[in-house]
Amino acid sequence: MKKLRKPRVDSVLVDGIPSLYYQEGVDFYYYLVRLYDKKGREIPSSVNCAYSSAYYSHEQILKMAKAL
């Protein structure tokens, strides 16, 4: 049986960046998710991504960030 390893992620930063997309008085944002280890270094990973509020609600974005 394979031993499970502890995750390296200690903290997560969700950064909001304003989008140029504008529709009928509603501002949209991109939420960039960054993962950090215990020493405060950013973990380089292929899962670095940004979620758009034009497609996802704020609750969905937080759930996806927790899943990373």
pLDDT in tens, 11-32: 878 888 888 776 677 788 888 8
Domain spans, the chain: 11-67
Other beta carbons within 10 angstroms of residue 52's beta carbon come to 14
The answer to whether the pTM exceeds 0.75 is: no
Per the document, the length of the chain is 68
Rounded to an integer, what distance in angstroms lies between the CA atom of residue 30 and that of residue 20? 10
With 80 as the cut, is the pLDDT of residue 67 above it? no
pLDDT of residue 53: 84
With 70 as the cut, is the pLDDT of residue 68 above it? no
10: phi > 0 → left, psi -120 to 50 → alpha, else beta; which? alpha
Rounded to an integer, what distance in angstroms lies between the CA atom of residue 6 and that of residue 36? 14
With 70 as the cut, is the pLDDT of residue 40 above it? yes
63: helix, strand or coil:
helix
